[in-house]
Amino acid sequence: MILIIRAFVQILIFFDGISFDEYNIYKNQYTNKIWNFKKEAIKYCELDCISLHQILSKFNTLIFNQFKLNINNYPTLPSLSFNLFRTHYIKENNVHMLHGEIANNIRKGYTGGAVDMYTPTPIGKIYGYDVNGLYAYVMANFKYPIGNPTYFEGDITKI
Amino acid sequence: MKNKKLFWSNKEYKLDSSNLIANLFIDSYINTFWNDIINKLEEKQHILLLIRVKYTDGNYSTIGDLQKINKNSKNDLVKYLKNIINISFDSYKDIPISSIIFSYGIREGLIKQDSNIDPIGKTTSKYHTYYNNKLPIASSPEGYGKILTKLGNIYFISCSHSNATIILEQNKDKSINTIKYIKDEKVLFTWTDEIVSGNRFIRKIGKSILYYENGELYLYTIVKKTKAINKKKLPKNVKQNRKIVTMDLETILVNNIHTPYLLSWFDGKISKSYFIKNLLERDLENNIFNLIKNAIKDLNIKKYNNYNIYLHNFSRFDAYFLIKHLCKLGFVEPIIHKGRIIQIEFGNNDNMNTLYFKDSYFLLPNSLRKLCKSFDIKDSLQKGIFPYKLYDINYKGICPDFNFF
């Protein structure tokens, strides 16, 4: 019983992304041929570089043609997209940066909600929802406070 | 006793670390000051106090006015100072403070009430205090003071309590009063009072808006100046930068340690590879160094000046092997953000060429195999497969077993 489990685990480990079919196609290239580690490693590594170059060139051209920005100037995807927004979409004097005392005071107003874990006991189907894009969704569809912040004392609801 | 009247001292508290002007620290310094000085006062003494802060750039500012206070009004003072800081220190909030200075003089006798400690926004009965001026609170021209003369809808009014003259212009339906406040032959302030209903009006002055009902302030707002994120302009004649070299480093486990044995790069046309001499333990480090040295020698030429060398998952993996040896080959300037190596700038003293090592995973955060599919790369140029678990770099023979992949 233990042996069977071990064998099963080993297959899972060695599997590592490629399927048996892929392997067989690969293996068939070497029938009656010697497989040389150095030669194959260089071939594989260079192919890695070539495919990465292809991807980056395509991405570079895509971004440049669409937005006239060079990907080389931005180290990360968020910095690229932020600069893309700043060059093409942001309105003048619209979104303000808050820092220092003002930002600290506003941040004090935020707190996290309750986070709980439940053991579900399903009655019928369970639906799983991926909420990765929640931020983007809210930013796109709901109002967002912009402009200069206003400090107030007194009853703001009376405005 | 007469000597004591002239007595003024300074007590300076240096901040341990430079701090922005914030509510938090005021409390503790007032406490310290109280302990150091004020608690030692005799029963029937009061103190004149002026609080200043020194900024790291050498400037000073005074927090509020000169205060005449008794021993027991610490809490009121703290409240007052906090209000002042909140409202009037916009422009200084970004400059750190290096010390706080209490200038004080001890005087005989007690103060009847601490009239100076008057929170901003709340007015002393019928006046609105604005930059040390007492502005009248009123919704009809008569309320501002004594009407001297009237020309159509323009009133000339004298405010006796502040020796000021007011020119008030009323609009047609008498709902908006536009006021010029004149003192010492100068127009000091201009504001508008908009009457919303019989007993309510809204005063707009400077950046502040004040809401009054029955002569009482019920809401005070002030717009805080902040910087907008400005639009970026595209430079004219912007050209696409195609200076991209891709690089990959293969490693093998030697004694359970990842050891680089192969480095390849591709510039769009030519690719080159560098294979390790051997994996013998005695000169392993030297062999790795030579491998990287040879690669850099070929890349650090004029043709590749200012090129960006992209490696996939560079910051988490390849960077650690490379940076160690790059340091020995020239000068290295890494950009590290939150513990991740974002970029390594590499240069050599032999020539003035610069290379930038970057991580393509930051731009395209996915596996190479998946990216190939997403970007529709030709089958023949797609990422291949390799037996990662084969640890013999000298292997020659039949195609390795599936288990090695």
Distance from CA of B12 to the nearest CA of A (A): 24
B8 three-state secondary structure = coil
- Cα angle B17, B18, B20 (rounded to 5 degrees) comes to 130
Confidence of residue B269 (pLDDT cuts 50, 70, 90): very high
How many beta carbons lie within 10 A of that of residue B37, not counting itself?
Answer: 16
**pLDDT tens digits, residue range B327-342?**
999 999 999 988 889 9
CB contacts, 8 Å: B93 with chain A: 100-102
**pLDDT tens digits, residue range A119-135?**
878 888 888 777 777 88
Whole-number pLDDT of residue A128: 79
Inter-chain touch A48–B384, beta carbons under 8 Å = yes
Mean pLDDT value of segment B29-42: 84
Mean pLDDT value of segment B250-265: 89
Smallest CA–CA distance from A94 into chain B, residue: B228
Smallest CA–CA distance from A78 into chain B, residue: B363
Residue type, B228: A
Residue A28 lies in a domain: no
How many beta carbons lie within 10 A of that of residue A112, not counting itself?
Answer: 5
Identify the residue with better confidence: A13 or A125. A125
Residue A52 lies in a domain: yes
Confidence of residue B290 (pLDDT cuts 50, 70, 90): very high
- The DSSP bridge pattern shows strands B186-197 and B200-205 to be antiparallel
Inter-chain touch B246–A56, beta carbons under 8 Å = yes
Q: Return the beta strands (E) in chain A as ranges.
A: 35-36, 96-97, 150-154
Residue A117 lies in a domain: no
Identify the residue with better confidence: B357 or B85. B357
Mean pLDDT value of segment B86-96: 63
Residue A113 lies in a domain: no
Mean pLDDT value of segment B154-163: 86
Mean pLDDT value of segment B383-400: 80
Whole-number pLDDT of residue B18: 66
How many beta carbons lie within 10 A of that of residue A13, not counting itself?
Answer: 9
Burial class of residue B16, CB neighbours in 10 A (0-12, 13-18, 19+): exposed
Whole-number pLDDT of residue B90: 56
Helix axes B284-299, B319-329, angle to 10 degrees: 80
Nearest of B226, B230, B225, B235 to residue A90 by alpha carbon: B230
Inter-chain touch A49–B246, beta carbons under 8 Å = yes
Whole-number pLDDT of residue B321: 85
> For B216-227, b where at least 16 C-beta lie within 10 A, e where not — what string?
ebebbbbebebe
Phi, psi of B76 (to 5 degrees): -65, -40
Which of B385, B389, B390 best tests the A interface by mutation, with the highest count of A CBs <10 A? B385
Q: Assign residue B313 a region: left if phi > 0, alpha if psi is -120 to 50, beta otherwise?
A: left
Identify the residue with better confidence: B313 or B63. B313
Question: What is the spatial distance between Cα B44 and Cα B384, in angstroms, rounded to a whole number?
Answer: 90
Domains: count for chain A = 1
**Residue B373 to residues B134, B169, B378: CA-CA distances in angstroms?**
73, 73, 9
Whole-number pLDDT of residue B121: 40
Whole-number pLDDT of residue B306: 92
Look at chain B and count its residues. Answer: 405
| Ranges of H-type helices in A29-93 | 37-67, 77-88
**Residue B97 to residues B18, B55, B81, B259: CA-CA distances in angstroms?**
5, 4, 16, 51
Of the candidates B240, B246, B400, the beta carbon closest to that of A64 is on: B240
pLDDT at A13 over 70: no
**pLDDT tens digits, residue range B295-326?**
999 999 999 999 999 999 888 888 888 888 99
- Chains A, B: CB pairs < 8 Å: 254
A63 touches chain B (CB under 8 A): no
Residue A9 lies in a domain: no
Identify the residue with better confidence: A19 or B3. A19
Cβ proximity of B94 and A97 under 8 Å = no
Inter-chain touch A156–B219, beta carbons under 8 Å = yes
Interface ipTM > 0.85: no
Residue A73 lies in a domain: yes
Instruction: Kindly report the pTM of this predicted structure.
Output: 0.63
**pLDDT tens digits, residue range A42-92?**
999 999 999 999 999 999 999 999 999 999 999 999 999 999 999 999 988
Can you read off the two tokens belonging to residue B262? 């192969």
Nearest of A129, A53, A35 to residue B386 by alpha carbon: A35
Looking at every residue in chain A, the average pLDDT score rounds to: 82
Whole-number pLDDT of residue A5: 41
A16 touches chain B (CB under 8 A): yes
Whole-number pLDDT of residue B3: 47
Question: What is the spatial distance between Cα B338 and Cα B235, in angstroms, rounded to a whole number?
Answer: 31
Distant-in-sequence, close-in-space partners of B21: CB < 8 Å, separation ≥ 6: A101, B53, B85, B89, B92, B93, B97
Smallest CA–CA distance from B391 into chain A, residue: A37
Tokens 């941040």 appear where? A107
Cβ proximity of B136 and B159 under 8 Å = yes
A35 touches chain B (CB under 8 A): yes
Question: What is the spatial distance between Cα B191 and Cα B166, in angstroms, rounded to a whole number?
Answer: 11
Of the candidates B20, B229, B234, the beta carbon closest to that of A100 is on: B20
Residue A111 lies in a domain: no
pLDDT at A14 over 60: no
For residue A69, the enclosing domain spans 38-90
Inter-chain touch B403–A55, beta carbons under 8 Å = no
> Going from the N-terminus, what domains does chain B have, and what CATH number goes with each?
2-108 (3.30.1490.100), 127-222 (no CATH), 244-365 (3.30.420.10)
Question: What is the spatial distance between Cα A98 and Cα A82, in angstroms, rounded to a whole number?
Answer: 17
Confidence of residue B24 (pLDDT cuts 50, 70, 90): low
Range with the largest mean pLDDT of B89-93, B207-211, B380-384: B207-211
How many beta carbons lie within 10 A of that of residue A121, not counting itself?
Answer: 6
**Residue A152 to residues A155, B136, B175, B224: CA-CA distances in angstroms?**
8, 21, 24, 10
How far separated are the first and last CA of chain A, in Å rounded? 76
Looking at every residue in chain B, the average pLDDT score rounds to: 84
Whole-number pLDDT of residue B6: 58
Confidence of residue A16 (pLDDT cuts 50, 70, 90): low
Inter-chain touch A60–B265, beta carbons under 8 Å = no
Adjacent-strand bridge partners of B187 = B182
A118 touches chain B (CB under 8 A): no
Range with the largest mean pLDDT of A13-17, B62-66, B232-236, B384-388: B232-236
Can you read off the two tokens belonging to residue B350? 């032999």
Residue type, B81: L
**pLDDT tens digits, residue range B172-190?**
888 899 999 998 888 889 9
